Amino acid sequence: MLIAIPDILDADGVARLRAVIDAADWVDGNVTSGPQAALAKRNRQLPEESAAAREGAAMVLAALGRSPLFFAAALPLKVFPPLFNRYEGGEDFGLHVDNAIRIQRGSEFRIRADLSATLFLDDPATYDGGELVIEDRFGPQSVKLPAGHLVLYPSSSLHRVTPVIRGVRTASFLWLQSMVRDDGERRTLFELDEAIQAVAATNGQGNPAVVQLTGIYHNLLRRWADA
Protein backbone atom coordinates (compact mmCIF):
# COMPACT_ATOMS: atom_id res chain seq x y z
CA MET A 1 0.00 0.00 0.00
CA LEU A 2 1.29 3.41 -1.01
CA ILE A 3 -0.27 6.35 0.81
CA ALA A 4 0.49 10.07 1.00
CA ILE A 5 -0.05 11.56 4.45
CA PRO A 6 -0.41 15.36 4.47
CA ASP A 7 0.74 17.83 7.09
CA ILE A 8 2.94 15.67 9.28
CA LEU A 9 4.69 19.00 9.84
CA ASP A 10 3.12 22.40 9.30
CA ALA A 11 5.12 25.31 7.87
CA ASP A 12 6.41 26.34 11.29
CA GLY A 13 7.39 22.76 12.08
CA VAL A 14 9.30 22.46 8.81
CA ALA A 15 11.08 25.74 9.53
CA ARG A 16 12.09 24.63 13.04
CA LEU A 17 13.37 21.31 11.74
CA ARG A 18 15.29 22.95 8.90
CA ALA A 19 16.93 25.36 11.35
CA VAL A 20 18.36 22.34 13.18
CA ILE A 21 19.54 20.27 10.22
CA ASP A 22 20.60 22.93 7.70
CA ALA A 23 23.40 24.22 9.94
CA ALA A 24 24.90 20.76 10.44
CA ASP A 25 27.73 19.06 8.54
CA TRP A 26 26.55 16.68 5.83
CA VAL A 27 28.50 13.62 4.63
CA ASP A 28 28.42 11.10 1.79
CA GLY A 29 25.06 9.34 1.83
CA ASN A 30 26.59 5.89 1.51
CA VAL A 31 27.28 5.81 5.25
CA THR A 32 24.01 3.86 5.61
CA SER A 33 24.02 1.96 2.30
CA GLY A 34 24.12 -1.76 1.76
CA PRO A 35 26.43 -3.09 -1.00
CA GLN A 36 23.77 -2.92 -3.72
CA ALA A 37 22.48 0.53 -2.78
CA ALA A 38 26.01 1.95 -2.63
CA LEU A 39 26.37 1.33 -6.36
CA ALA A 40 23.34 3.48 -7.14
CA LYS A 41 23.39 6.19 -4.48
CA ARG A 42 24.69 9.74 -4.94
CA ASN A 43 23.57 12.14 -2.24
CA ARG A 44 24.51 13.59 1.14
CA GLN A 45 23.27 12.68 4.57
CA LEU A 46 23.43 13.77 8.19
CA PRO A 47 25.51 11.30 10.24
CA GLU A 48 22.95 9.44 12.34
CA GLU A 49 25.01 9.87 15.52
CA SER A 50 25.28 13.66 15.12
CA ALA A 51 23.51 15.98 17.55
CA ALA A 52 21.54 17.61 14.73
CA ALA A 53 20.34 14.26 13.39
CA ARG A 54 19.24 13.14 16.85
CA GLU A 55 17.40 16.38 17.55
CA GLY A 56 15.78 16.35 14.13
CA ALA A 57 14.78 12.70 14.51
CA ALA A 58 13.06 13.47 17.81
CA MET A 59 11.09 16.25 16.13
CA VAL A 60 9.96 13.94 13.31
CA LEU A 61 9.01 11.12 15.70
CA ALA A 62 6.95 13.54 17.79
CA ALA A 63 5.14 14.73 14.66
CA LEU A 64 4.42 11.15 13.55
CA GLY A 65 2.98 10.42 16.98
CA ARG A 66 0.45 13.22 16.49
CA SER A 67 -0.88 11.81 13.20
CA PRO A 68 -3.83 9.39 13.50
CA LEU A 69 -3.65 8.75 9.75
CA PHE A 70 -0.01 7.66 10.00
CA PHE A 71 -0.84 5.28 12.83
CA ALA A 72 -3.85 3.82 11.03
CA ALA A 73 -1.89 3.21 7.83
CA ALA A 74 1.35 1.93 9.38
CA LEU A 75 0.26 0.29 12.66
CA PRO A 76 3.83 0.86 13.86
CA LEU A 77 5.49 -1.48 16.33
CA LYS A 78 9.05 -0.13 16.10
CA VAL A 79 10.37 2.89 14.20
CA PHE A 80 13.98 3.30 13.15
CA PRO A 81 15.18 6.79 14.16
CA PRO A 82 14.52 9.09 11.19
CA LEU A 83 17.51 10.08 9.05
CA PHE A 84 18.03 13.02 6.70
CA ASN A 85 19.32 13.27 3.13
CA ARG A 86 19.92 15.93 0.53
CA TYR A 87 20.22 15.89 -3.28
CA GLU A 88 21.49 18.62 -5.64
CA GLY A 89 23.68 19.11 -8.71
CA GLY A 90 22.43 16.03 -10.55
CA GLU A 91 22.61 13.70 -7.54
CA ASP A 92 20.21 10.75 -7.58
CA PHE A 93 19.55 7.29 -6.15
CA GLY A 94 19.13 4.55 -8.71
CA LEU A 95 16.67 1.67 -8.55
CA HIS A 96 17.10 -0.37 -5.36
CA VAL A 97 15.26 -2.17 -2.58
CA ASP A 98 15.72 -1.35 1.10
CA ASN A 99 17.47 -3.81 3.41
CA ALA A 100 15.09 -6.18 5.17
CA ILE A 101 16.73 -5.64 8.56
CA ARG A 102 17.90 -2.25 9.81
CA ILE A 103 20.32 -2.06 12.74
CA GLN A 104 20.98 1.19 14.58
CA ARG A 105 24.69 1.87 14.63
CA GLY A 106 26.33 1.34 18.03
CA SER A 107 23.30 -0.30 19.61
CA GLU A 108 21.34 -3.55 19.70
CA PHE A 109 18.21 -1.86 18.32
CA ARG A 110 17.03 -3.50 15.13
CA ILE A 111 13.83 -3.70 13.14
CA ARG A 112 12.38 -5.68 10.28
CA ALA A 113 11.74 -3.04 7.63
CA ASP A 114 8.12 -3.55 6.60
CA LEU A 115 7.47 0.05 5.56
CA SER A 116 9.59 2.92 4.29
CA ALA A 117 8.67 6.58 4.51
CA THR A 118 9.92 9.85 3.06
CA LEU A 119 9.02 13.19 4.65
CA PHE A 120 9.56 15.97 2.12
CA LEU A 121 11.13 19.17 3.50
CA ASP A 122 11.34 21.46 0.46
CA ASP A 123 8.71 23.26 -1.60
CA PRO A 124 8.56 21.20 -4.84
CA ALA A 125 8.59 24.43 -6.87
CA THR A 126 12.12 25.17 -5.64
CA TYR A 127 13.76 22.17 -7.31
CA ASP A 128 13.52 20.17 -10.54
CA GLY A 129 13.75 16.39 -10.48
CA GLY A 130 13.99 14.58 -7.18
CA GLU A 131 10.82 12.54 -7.66
CA LEU A 132 10.57 9.38 -5.59
CA VAL A 133 9.54 6.70 -8.09
CA ILE A 134 8.06 3.59 -6.49
CA GLU A 135 7.40 0.41 -8.46
CA ASP A 136 3.82 -0.35 -7.39
CA ARG A 137 1.75 -3.33 -8.51
CA PHE A 138 -0.07 -0.91 -10.81
CA GLY A 139 3.19 0.39 -12.31
CA PRO A 140 5.67 3.13 -11.41
CA GLN A 141 4.27 5.80 -9.10
CA SER A 142 6.07 9.17 -9.10
CA VAL A 143 5.85 11.07 -5.81
CA LYS A 144 6.87 14.67 -5.14
CA LEU A 145 4.98 16.17 -2.21
CA PRO A 146 4.78 19.57 -0.52
CA ALA A 147 7.07 20.27 2.41
CA GLY A 148 5.78 18.60 5.55
CA HIS A 149 3.94 15.82 3.69
CA LEU A 150 5.00 12.17 3.90
CA VAL A 151 4.69 9.13 1.66
CA LEU A 152 4.50 5.63 3.16
CA TYR A 153 5.15 2.53 1.07
CA PRO A 154 6.27 -1.12 1.42
CA SER A 155 10.02 -1.50 1.98
CA SER A 156 9.92 -4.47 -0.39
CA SER A 157 9.17 -2.11 -3.30
CA LEU A 158 11.81 -1.25 -5.87
CA HIS A 159 12.21 2.53 -5.84
CA ARG A 160 14.53 5.34 -6.92
CA VAL A 161 15.05 9.10 -6.66
CA THR A 162 15.43 10.90 -9.98
CA PRO A 163 18.34 13.35 -10.50
CA VAL A 164 17.90 16.79 -8.95
CA ILE A 165 18.90 19.13 -11.76
CA ARG A 166 17.91 22.45 -10.15
CA GLY A 167 17.79 23.49 -6.54
CA VAL A 168 18.03 21.22 -3.51
CA ARG A 169 15.81 18.37 -2.32
CA THR A 170 15.98 17.74 1.43
CA ALA A 171 14.00 15.01 3.18
CA SER A 172 13.75 12.83 6.23
CA PHE A 173 13.52 9.10 5.62
CA LEU A 174 12.78 6.21 7.93
CA TRP A 175 11.80 2.57 8.19
CA LEU A 176 9.37 0.90 10.52
CA GLN A 177 8.28 -2.51 11.63
CA SER A 178 4.52 -2.82 11.62
CA MET A 179 2.41 -4.81 14.05
CA VAL A 180 0.94 -6.39 10.90
CA ARG A 181 3.69 -7.77 8.65
CA ASP A 182 1.55 -8.58 5.60
CA ASP A 183 0.85 -5.61 3.33
CA GLY A 184 -2.48 -6.99 2.14
CA GLU A 185 -3.74 -7.50 5.69
CA ARG A 186 -2.52 -4.03 6.66
CA ARG A 187 -4.36 -2.55 3.65
CA THR A 188 -7.58 -4.34 4.65
CA LEU A 189 -7.37 -2.97 8.19
CA PHE A 190 -6.70 0.54 6.93
CA GLU A 191 -9.64 0.47 4.52
CA LEU A 192 -11.89 -0.96 7.25
CA ASP A 193 -10.77 1.78 9.64
CA GLU A 194 -11.56 4.44 7.03
CA ALA A 195 -15.04 2.93 6.53
CA ILE A 196 -15.69 2.87 10.29
CA GLN A 197 -14.71 6.53 10.60
CA ALA A 198 -17.00 7.48 7.71
CA VAL A 199 -20.00 5.62 9.18
CA ALA A 200 -19.29 7.03 12.65
CA ALA A 201 -19.13 10.58 11.27
CA THR A 202 -22.66 10.17 9.91
CA ASN A 203 -24.28 7.99 12.56
CA GLY A 204 -22.21 8.51 15.72
CA GLN A 205 -19.74 6.29 17.53
CA GLY A 206 -22.52 4.54 19.45
CA ASN A 207 -24.37 3.40 16.33
CA PRO A 208 -24.79 -0.43 16.41
CA ALA A 209 -23.19 -0.81 12.97
CA VAL A 210 -20.17 1.23 14.08
CA VAL A 211 -19.79 -0.88 17.21
CA GLN A 212 -20.04 -4.09 15.18
CA LEU A 213 -17.55 -2.92 12.56
CA THR A 214 -15.15 -1.78 15.29
CA GLY A 215 -15.35 -5.24 16.83
CA ILE A 216 -14.54 -6.83 13.47
CA TYR A 217 -11.56 -4.49 13.08
CA HIS A 218 -10.11 -5.40 16.45
CA ASN A 219 -10.71 -9.11 15.99
CA LEU A 220 -8.86 -9.00 12.67
CA LEU A 221 -6.05 -7.00 14.31
CA ARG A 222 -5.94 -9.57 17.12
CA ARG A 223 -5.60 -12.35 14.54
CA TRP A 224 -2.96 -10.66 12.38
CA ALA A 225 -0.90 -8.50 14.74
CA ASP A 226 2.46 -9.39 16.21
CA ALA A 227 2.81 -7.03 19.14
| pLDDT digit string, tens, across residues 160-213 | 999 999 999 999 999 999 999 999 999 999 999 999 999 999 999 999 999 999
Give the domain CATH number at 193: 4.10.860
What pLDDT does residue 72 have? Answer: 97
Pair 103, 192 in one domain: no
Q: Are 24 and 48 in contact (CB under 8 A)?
A: no
Characterize the bridge pairing of strands 128-129 and 93-96.
Answer: unpaired
pLDDT in tens, 23-75: 999 998 776 555 555 667 899 999 999 999 999 999 999 999 999 999 999 99
* Nearest to 31, CA basis, from 106, 120, 132, 134: 106
Pair 112, 187 in one domain: no
46's enclosing H/E stretch is none
Residue ranges making up the domain that contains 24: 3-178
Would the annotation count 159 as a binding residue?
Answer: yes
Q: Are 172 and 149 in contact (CB under 8 A)?
A: no
What pLDDT does residue 36 have? Answer: 56
Percent of the chain scoring above 90 in pLDDT: 89
Pair 25, 91 in one domain: yes
Average pLDDT over residues 101-120: 94
Q: How many independent structural domains does the chain possess?
A: 2
Distance of CA 5 to the CA centre of its chain: 9
Pair 113, 219 in one domain: no
Separation CA 96–CA 4 (nearest Å): 21
Query: How many residues belong to the chain?
Result: 227
Which residue type sits at 185? E
Band of residue 152 on the pLDDT scale cut at 50, 70, 90: very high
Pair 55, 17 in one domain: yes
Which residue type sits at 139? G
Give 41's DSSP letter.
Answer: B
Pair 55, 105 in one domain: yes
What pLDDT does residue 30 have? Answer: 74
Would the annotation count 96 as a binding residue?
Answer: yes
Q: Are 112 and 179 in contact (CB under 8 A)?
A: no
DSSP 3-state assignment of 106?
Answer: coil
What pLDDT does residue 183 have? Answer: 95
Pair 88, 150 in one domain: yes
